[in-house]
Amino acid sequence: MIRESHLDRVLARKLKEAREQRGLTQEAVAQILGVSRETVALWEGGARIPSLLYLGDLAKLYGVKEESFLTQGPLEFLEDLRALLRKEEEALLDPGVRLELRRWLDFLNGYAELLELAGEAPYLKAPPKELKPKEAILTDLRQASSQAIKVREYFKLGQDALPELYTFLDNVGVLVYKVSLPQGAGVWGAFYRHPRLGYSVLVNVNATPGRQAFTLAHELAHALYHNGFPGIVCRRENLAPEEAEVERFANAWAAHFLVPGKALREGVRRLGRLDPEVALLLAHHFRVSYALLLFRLRNEGLLSEEQLKEWVQYAPQDLARRLGLNPEPYGLPQSLPNLQGLKRYPPSVLQLVRKSVEEDLISVSEAAELLNVNSYILEKELLSAGLPKEENPEVEELVQELGFVSPGRRGKVLR
């Protein structure tokens, strides 16, 4: 390790060197990290040293081992994305996407250690044996519908609209990690079979709720049918032939899983007609996007090719307004969703981190480092003592109607 008096000069030089090797401008780095270009220039000029959080993000953005910023030797580059992408594909990704993927993998490594320390079981590591297909990698589109129904039956989900998928996946043992990627980044999500932690999926929340639901179902398909791959980044371009095949299957499976054909046909029959407004009502019922619902109608032979081409031109937000529905779920966020703090993580992660701090398995600073937040935010949002209390007017309304134990029930009071 070099002498402390030289640290600022070596760090500054290597920050500039790493940025230039990645072909990034100071403006691009500033935009990705949410700081000013002047701040990046001060870091590279040695007038200011980045905080530990920013230094870690710079290392991930440039694909550099953080400790190599602080030594006299050459920069050492990370190979962590090899689990998800070939080297040539990594170079084609948007820099912000590479940063988020590295943040995700870094978190999974640290969280796997916490699971082991706390003696907790890992997340799902293989599909339930009842759902395991005969093929090692299932890509036959003809099986998408039957496999989707089989999964619904296994989890007792019926044929109608699904529960909220973020919570569902967390409950069945798939860790969901949220990111906000710029429009046009071309990546909707990713799946990773972490060797110690188990299954995790990454979801881009800079999309409509219906598109997010489709991404979650798509990644679940990878977990169930394509876990022979260590990881898959779901993107539009630069797919190898075998990746294109598994993507097509995952798309078809997700569509049938979200909107089963039998339930869709029953919905059309019940409403008694089929037009763009009815299609929007059905999309609202199944909690999917208007576009996906139209394609499912076409899949089931309920919509002609000509109707599909016409109906996709109608704005779903306008249709929602005409029906008295909230139009917001059918439009993209006006700005990038703010995923600072703890919003990236599912309930299972936050519960275990809080429990681990309370039981002194890890310190507050270690928990903050794991979740990539500062200690103040962690204390305020996750570790504050006691549960907040407030008046709930609904209690008074329901106390007369529901303040009873159902006849014949001998429930055991939980403590």
Domain that residue 267 falls in: 261-330
Instruction: Tell which wins on pLDDT, 208 or 8.
Output: 208
Instruction: Tell which wins on pLDDT, 6 or 76.
Output: 76
| Of the candidates 303, 344, 314, the residue with the CA atom closest to the CA atom of residue 108 | 344
Residues 172 and 210 in one domain: yes
What does the pLDDT average to over 125-150? 93
The reply to whether 48 falls in a domain is yes
Residues 100 and 248 in one domain: yes
Question: What are the backbone angles phi and psi of residue 186, rounded to the nearest 5°?
Answer: 80, 10
The reply to whether 61 falls in a domain is yes
How far is residue 68's CA from residue 13's CA, in Å, rounded to a whole number?
12
Q: What is the CATH number of the domain that holds 177?
A: 1.10.10.2910
Residues 114 and 183 in one domain: yes
Final residue of a structural domain among 258, 289, 305: 258
Residues 145 and 132 in one domain: yes
The reply to whether 413 falls in a domain is no
Residues 168 and 234 in one domain: yes
Residues 111 and 226 in one domain: yes
Q: Residue 20 to residues 25, 144, 235, 270, 300: CA-CA distances in angstroms?
A: 7, 46, 26, 61, 52
- Convert the pLDDT of each residue in 377-387 to its tens digit: 899 889 887 77
Final residue of a structural domain among 236, 258, 280: 258
- Convert the pLDDT of each residue in 231-277 to its tens digit: 999 988 888 888 899 999 999 999 999 999 999 999 999 999 999 99
The reply to whether 298 falls in a domain is yes
Q: Residue 176 to residues 103, 211, 349: CA-CA distances in angstroms?
A: 14, 15, 10
Residues 115 and 181 in one domain: yes
Residues 104 and 191 in one domain: yes
The number of folded domains in the chain is 4
The reply to whether 178 falls in a domain is yes
Q: What is the CATH number of the domain that holds 64?
A: 1.10.260.40
How far is residue 353's CA from residue 372's CA, in Å, rounded to a whole number?
13
- Convert the pLDDT of each residue in 306-336 to its tens digit: 999 999 999 999 999 999 999 999 988 876 6
For residue 379, the 8-state DSSP code is H
Instruction: Tell which wins on pLDDT, 225 or 186.
Output: 225
Residues 119 and 238 in one domain: yes
Residues 251 and 166 in one domain: yes
Band the pLDDT of 2: cuts 50, 70, 90: very low
Question: How much of the chain, in percent, has pLDDT values that exceed 90?
Answer: 62
Residue 7 is predicted with a pLDDT of 66
Final residue of a structural domain among 305, 330, 355: 330
Residue 415 is predicted with a pLDDT of 54
Give the strand pairing for 175-179 and 231-235: unpaired
Residues 110 and 251 in one domain: yes
Asked if the model's pLDDT at residue 338 lies above 70, the reply is no
Do residues 172 and 155 touch, judged by C-beta distance below 8 A? yes
For residue 407, the SS3 value is: coil
- Convert the pLDDT of each residue in 294-310 to its tens digit: 999 999 999 999 999 99
What does the pLDDT average to over 110-129? 95
Give the strand pairing for 187-194 and 198-204: antiparallel
For residue 391, the 8-state DSSP code is -
What does the pLDDT average to over 80-91? 84
The reply to whether 400 falls in a domain is no
Residues 251 and 265 in one domain: no
Instruction: Tell which wins on pLDDT, 83 or 209.
Output: 209
The reply to whether 246 falls in a domain is yes
- Which of 69-83, 192-206, 339-353 shows the lowest mean pLDDT across its residues? 69-83
Tokens representing 274?
């089929």
The reply to whether 339 falls in a domain is no
Residue 1 is predicted with a pLDDT of 42
- Convert the pLDDT of each residue in 164-193 to its tens digit: 999 999 999 999 999 998 888 889 999 999
Asked if the model's pLDDT at residue 4 lies above 70, the reply is no
Band the pLDDT of 411: cuts 50, 70, 90: low
